[in-house]
Amino acid sequence: MAYDPLVTMLWLADAPSLRALAARLDDVSGGLAPRVSAGLSPLFSTDQVSRYPELAHYAGRLRSLRQWCEATSADLRRRAAIAEQADAVALDPVEPPAVRSALIAAASGTGDAALSELRLLLAADGAGPGRDGKVAAFFAALPPDAALAVALAGAALVGPLGGVPYDLRYAANRLLIRQARAEAGALWLTDRVALYSRLLEPREVRTVRDGRVVSEKLPRQFLLFDPSGQGRVAEVFGDLDTATSVAVTVPGTGNNLGTYGDGPGANARALHDFAERFSGGRSATIAWMGCDLPQSLPQATWTSYAEAGGPMLRDFVTGLRLSADVRATLVGHSYGSTVTGHAVSAGLRPGSLVAVASPGWGVYSADDLHAPGTRMYALRHPHDAISVAPVLSAVSKAGLLGLLATPWAGHGQDPILLAGVTRLATGTDGDLVQLGLDIDAHGDYFTTSGPTTLSISNIARVILGKRPITFLEARASR
């Protein structure tokens, strides 16, 4: 989009000036051609040009000017939001100084040409198989400061985009969280402000230097953030650039952005701590909540959430562009395991697939996943109520007990019963009767104390390629 010198000069102004100019352009646009006439719906509205025949000769130009005013006003407000965050970042002790400089550059229009090139690249390539590589090459060709300015200027585009360097995605998504917090604050949505503020709290990282354990606070690492609807988020624990083992965890029913911190995020962090302990700091864990999840037990019987989420998970993991020597593991809990099963069915080929308290991978045979190179594991507490899910699935699919057959409900066989799947010990495997009655047991797989610690320890062993303790071994030693 072309701007005249006055607008170009005002790019360098502060956020209030940018918003004031946007408001003036709105006034001009409204005077040229109001969108809605008094008392009429937009469908039947008229504009100034149609009201005054003498303006008919200039109708095309006036409407083009109105469109320019509207587009420019929206862009100036976007830049104002970025400029506001430059001031906020200056007060954040854990954000690198380069981020504030890049925000100022993004607000002033630096990098707009490169951002336009990126949009053209994506429009031309669509979602083709080579797109992530082209995106990676695009950013690799930019100087670091310019690449960061582009990422921040187009944060909504770059934040979730596969192929973008991790540090740029982290910066873009933190900006999106700050902007969401600012918008929530303007609307007096205090709960949302508190939620987003928690997401921006720094992470504590401990490293060994000169024989001493050093603790430092660093910005959190998000590869995805979208507050709309249920909300979507993906957070990285550890260093993806140096990790030799990477796990992606997917949560189950009832989870959304509001439950992330104390639920999926906390579980992934606990799992990462175990994996880090075993690997000596060479692992990374990603808490992925990048699709809509069922929010009730009736919804949890539907296949539609997993059918939509599976390809989204596949594309997310593919977009990480992990090297061939990195050990990748999918860990799905409850309905999240169904999502991982559909991701594998959609073509994702992780080194290992772990089902935790699963209602099913969406198949009745492990061969139906068509992933012969993937090692498959499953674990379930003896009394976890999820054990009844495959039974209900079979009843639903067959239309038994007087029910109509429902192909859109049910998730296949329990993974612990599938041939070729190794059942892992959970620390509560001694009971002879394996009957699902305990509701509380369903969430008890990521605890870090008590006998069930064996569950999270076993999952960490799988992630690192170490030998886990199997269910049969635990039963034999009881």
Reported as a single tens digit per residue, the pLDDT across 357-411 is: 999 999 999 999 999 999 999 999 888 877 766 655 555 555 544 444 445 456 8
Distances from the Cα of 270 to the Cα of 138, 259, 321, 396, 469, angstroms:
36, 16, 25, 36, 19
pLDDT confidence of residue 48: 56
Residue 152 in any domain: the answer is: yes
Contact between 147 and 115 under an 8 Å Cβ cutoff? The reply is no
196 domain residue, yes or no: no
Check residue 77 and give its pLDDT. Answer: 85
Q: What is the CATH number of the domain that holds 323?
A: 3.40.50.1820
Same domain, 149 and 280: no
In a domain, 167, yes or no: no
**What local confidence, expressed as pLDDT, does residue 10 receive?**
44
Residue 127 and residue 254 in one domain: no
**For residue 266, what pLDDT is reported?**
96
Does 466 share its domain with 356? yes
Q: Which of 82-96, 126-140, 230-244, 272-286 has the highest mean pLDDT?
A: 230-244
Higher-confidence residue of 250 and 389: namely: 250
Same domain, 49 and 151: yes
Range of the domain at 466: 228-476
Using CA atoms, how far apart are residues 427 and 32, in angstroms rounded to an integer? 72
Q: Which of 357, 356, 330 is nearest to 342 (CA)?
A: 330
Q: Is the pLDDT of residue 476 over 50?
A: yes
Indicate the range of 16-25, 380-389, 469-478 predicted with least confidence.
Answer: 380-389
Domain boundary among 106, 124, 157: 157
In a domain, 162, yes or no: no
User: Is 175 among the domain residues?
Assistant: no
pLDDT score of 49 more than 70: no
pLDDT on residue 42: 42
Percentage of the residues of the chain whose pLDDT score is greater than 90: 55
Residue 108 belongs to a domain: yes
Are 159 and 172 spatial neighbours (Cβ–Cβ below 8 Å)?
A: yes
H or E element in which residue 73 lies: helix 59-90
pLDDT given for residue 389 in this prediction = 62
Which value, to the nearest 10 degrees, does the dihedral of the CA atoms of residues 464, 352, 322, 119 take? -140
Q: What is the pTM of this model?
A: 0.87
pLDDT in tens, 319-351: 999 999 999 999 999 999 999 999 999 999 999
Mean pLDDT, the chain, as a whole number?
A: 85
Would residue 180 count as lying in a domain?
A: no
45 or 419, greater pLDDT: 419
Greater confidence, 142 or 90?
Answer: 142
- Compare 235 and 450 and report the one with higher pLDDT: 235
With a cut of 80, say whether residue 89 has pLDDT above it.
yes
Structural domain total, the chain: 2
Residues 155-213 pLDDT 10s? 999 999 999 999 999 999 999 999 999 999 999 999 999 999 999 999 888 776 676 77
Instruction: Among 131, 157, 183, give the residue marking a domain's end.
Output: 157
pLDDT 10s digits, 271-323: 999 999 888 889 999 999 999 999 998 888 889 999 999 999 999 999 999 99
Q: What pLDDT was estimated at residue 409?
A: 52
Q: How many residues does the chain have?
A: 478
Mean pLDDT of 402-422: 73
Predicted confidence at residue 432, as pLDDT, reads: 57
Same domain, 336 and 427: yes
Residues 6+ apart with CB under 8 A from 334: 251, 252, 253, 300, 356, 357, 358, 359, 386, 442
pLDDT of residue 401: 46
SS3 351: coil
The domain boundary, picked from 124, 157, 190, lies at 157
Q: What is the pLDDT of residue 41?
A: 41
246 and 141 in a single domain? The answer is no
User: Which pLDDT score, from 0 to 100, does residue 2 have?
Assistant: 44
pLDDT value, residue 386: 79
Are the beta carbons of 96 and 110 closer than 8 angstroms?
no
Give the burial class of 28: count Cβ atoms within 10 A of its Cβ; 0-12 exposed, 13-18 middle, 19 or more buried. middle
Quote the percentage of the chain above a pLDDT of 70. Answer: 83
Q: How far, in Å, CA of 257 to CA of 323, rounded?
A: 30
Lowest-pLDDT range of 140-149, 217-226, 437-446, 469-478: 437-446
Q: How far is CA 157 from CA 72, 165, 412, 463, 464, in A?
A: 19, 13, 37, 31, 33
Classify residue 219: in a domain, yes or no: no
Q: Which residue has the higher pLDDT, 44 or 153?
A: 153
Decide if pLDDT at 68 tops 50. Answer: yes
